[in-house]
Structure 1
């Protein structure tokens, strides 16, 4: 099934996985492992939408729309053009006229391995 709307980017999904071979004080160390690449429709979040969602205007925040069948978790790390993003809030599933999933993402500012 093709994604709804107009896919304009490819997004790599990396999922968090425990590394049973590497431990620290807290237990098994977690690492991000490549899961898949999907086609998405990514749009900058407008100042009005940002105010409505967060009560303030956020920089480097985007709305992403993609195929409803995609398995994604709010702990996944996303990469678009080698830039790392994190999911803000919950994953929305829309099953009306054009079934799809929507997420809000924010560019990661901290260094993540």
Structure 2
């Protein structure tokens, strides 16, 4: 099933690998692995939307719309066009008229993956 709007990018979803048996000096080792690649509709968050959501204008923040069947967690890491993003807040599920999921993402300043 295709996303409800017009996919303009491809997003790689990296999920945290379960390394409960693998420890180092700092605790369990965290490693992200590629889970899947999906088409998405990504749009810059408008200044009005940013003010409504956060009370201030945020830079490098985007709204992403994608297929309702995609399983994603707020701890997952995202990569679009060789740029890393993190999920802000919760992922919304819309199941009426055009079923889809929406989330807000922010460009990461440091390389996480």
Instruction: Provide the TM-score with structure 2 as the length reference.
Output: 0.94
* Residue 32 of structure 1 pairs with residue 32 of structure 2: yes
For structure 2, which runs of at least 5 residues remain unmatched after alignment? none
Q: For residues 37-52 of structure 1, what are the structure 2 equivalents within 5 Å? A: 37-52=37-52
Write the distance in 1 (CA, Å) between the matches of 2:112 and 2:61. 18
Name the residue aligned to 2:71: 71
Q: How many residues align?
A: 113
Name the residue aligned to 2:98: 98
Name the residue aligned to 2:13: 13
Contact 1:3 1:67 in 2 (8 A): yes
Q: Report the CA distance between 1:111 and its aligned residue.
A: 3.2
Tell me the secondary structure at the aligned position of residue 52 of structure 1.
Answer: helix
Write the distance in 1 (CA, Å) between the matches of 2:63 and 2:41. 8
Root-mean-square deviation (CA), in Å?
Answer: 1.3
Instruction: Provide the TM-score with structure 1 as the length reference.
Output: 0.94
Q: Report the CA distance between 1:108 and its aligned residue.
A: 0.5
Larger strand share, 1 or 2: 1
Q: Extract structure 1 runs of 4+ deviating beyond 6 A.
A: none
